[in-house]
Chain A
């Protein structure tokens, strides 16, 4: 009887070589490129006279530095413009598929990979971006890497890695009806801490996970890095196969049936061994919100912020409270906000926009709040319009913008101004992440929508109570 878990299976399938005292030479099936981390790799390839292998398994897009307003053909920031132009030229010169601004496949790299069916079960995927773990939702082993490893993978189809430890995270129990996948992953991070899964690849299991859509599974895998994991994944099942079938890059015809059969074998064996495991009980769990300066500073919306006495890291807690202008033992319910942001590779998919539209429908965004809704891709935007979600957003006063990373990181014109408070569906509430001196509260799309209407942090549950006349 074999007792391998899915992580071991994919890993073993990709070992090219292992010499004593050397790291593993691991085969990489797919590479995703964006403008920020690829130029230096391609320059080095050219400098060393190397060739790029397997170009059919590389795709590129622009997401981080681009503006999201209607006039984005001209990029005012000279340095950003040069960076994007460089990627355009590089892709042209080396015949790499590039989804440029205005392509119907442009979008955040972790949103378009799955949409195109480029992300497939059992594959190894890298991208110069820490949220590459998103692709793990399909049962792929997907690592975020630095620029040098992009260079290695482009020129040799391999990277060097030490074998990761494996970590089983099981969600059990039935949460509250307003609880979402975003809340589940924040709950895990709050529990094990932002370094809690260091050196590990996580497999998420349990009935709750199985009940989730692909979009929700991506939200969970996306934030694996926020508890320090190298990657996170979920075994593929019928939900996965139904999502992928017929997509551009997915196998077709009899090849499809053959691949589904192979993918079904990937699931962890019954007695699979893991180096670590934890069970998270979601029984009656309530939506989450962050109060501090990293994603482990998260509490349920009906709880109060932690006491300094209980902090395992008092210096960081003190710094966090000073930065977010909050106090211990305080409820976040009612804290006024200036911005509300829906988007990013964590929560910028069609299901997220649908959820936001459902909450916003018939309401107006509060006068003190600027709300941005930024689809994760052109595909999401097209679909949202087809469903009429754009009309709901417009009549509520939210701004529906063009696809990109936008306000997730302060690298393009979309920033939260100094001293302003933003409730956001993104994945990092680090100091200055959304703009110098800006304050971020991470939450689910539903919670962000409810708060935008009230003008202060609140839950859908409270909004519904208020809404009752």
Chain B
């Protein structure tokens, strides 16, 4: 898993609530048995349908931080949505809220999701729509976002922070629980069988 420490990059403003995983990666792209090759499918249906869709705008092509609104990643549980975002080159998504399954999937793939108040998110989206070169700095160890000459703290859970900064994945932790898992199974054999 790719480590995440801090990042300064252009932002991509996506002025929408409820961006669902069908939009992020349409089902036609899900037939592959591999974990790679999803970057090109990112928002492919919206890109075809709406020529002025933000990802079709060359001015934002270097963006590495996606900023969108409420309930991002809702709908299907497809982890392909996270793979498509990271493989496109995006390292962090900043939104006013995220769907639960998407949130769980992201950290497992080195994608940093940051929840910020709606008014800030809205102001960054409009600022970036006015000036495509707008950049944001994310400092994960200190949990700060700097943009438009201001610095804001963000909340992030200590476990995922540890994993992202060190590039660890959860499997190492789960495998280290082998003894406890066995004990649990012995105690609950009547219900787990």
Contacts and interface: CB of A to CB of B under 8 A. Distances in A.
Interface of A: 13, 16-17, 21-23, 25, 27, 29, 36-37, 39-40, 43, 48, 54, 57, 64-65, 77, 79-80, 82-83, 86, 122-123, 128-130, 132, 144-149, 151-152, 155-162, 164, 194-195, 198-199, 225, 228, 230, 258, 262, 294, 313, 315-316, 409-411, 428, 430-433, 436-437
A25 B177 contact: yes
B28 A410 contact: yes
Given A16-B177, A158-B174, 7 more contacts: A27-B184, A57-B192, A64-B27, A80-B31, A132-B77, A149-B104, A156-B175
Contacts of B181: 16, 25, 27, 156-158
A152 B18 contact: no
A230 B159 CA distance: 20
B82 interface: yes
B17 A37 contact: no
A228 B45 contact: no
Nearest to A255: B190
Interface string B69-80: 011001111110
Nearest to A16: B184
Contacts of B70: 195
Given A25-B174, A313-B17, A431-B22, A144 B77 contact: yes
A216 B101 CA distance: 25
Contact of B31 (A83, A151, A316): A83
Given A194-B74, A430-B20, A432-B45, A21 B159 contact: yes
Nearest to B191: A122
B170 A160 contact: yes
Given A25-B174, A430-B22, A228 B71 contact: yes
Contact of A22 (B17, B159, B178): B159
Given A156-B181, A410-B28, A147 B79 contact: yes
B99 interface: yes
Contacts of B173: 22, 160
A17 B187 CA distance: 14
Contacts of B31: 36, 65, 77, 79-80, 82-83, 411
A186 B77 CA distance: 20
Nearest to B20: A430
Nearest to A200: B100
B148 interface: no
Contact of B76 (A25, A130, A410): A130
B160 to A, nearest CB: 9
B16 interface: yes
24 contacts: A17-B177, A21-B158, A48-B171, A86-B33, A130-B101, A145-B101, A146-B82, A146-B101, A146-B108, A147-B79, A149-B105, A152-B174, A159-B174, A164-B100, A198-B97, A258-B190, A294-B18, A411-B28, A431-B23, A431-B45, A432-B22, A432-B49, A436-B26, A437-B49
Contacts, number: 180
A122 B76 CA distance: 25
A82 B31 CA distance: 8
Contacts of B76: 129-130, 409
Interface in B8-62: 15-18, 20, 22-23, 26-28, 30-35, 45-46, 48-49
Contacts of B101: 130, 144-146, 225, 230
Contact of B191 (A22, A37, A144, A262): A262
A195 B33 contact: no
B22 to A, nearest CB: 5
A48 B105 CA distance: 20
B75 A315 contact: no
Nearest to B76: A130
Interface string B138-174: 0000000000000000000111000000000111011
B133 interface: no
B27 A410 contact: yes
Contact of B79 (A37, A54, A64, A432): A37
A81 to B, nearest CB: 9
B86 to A, nearest CB: 13
A21 B145 CA distance: 23
A131 B45 CA distance: 23
A129 B77 contact: yes
A294 B104 contact: no
Nearest to B183: A16
A195 B97 contact: yes
Nearest to A430: B22
A454 B181 CA distance: 58
Contacts of A65: 31
A411 B27 contact: yes
Contacts of A316: 16-18
A428 B78 CA distance: 15
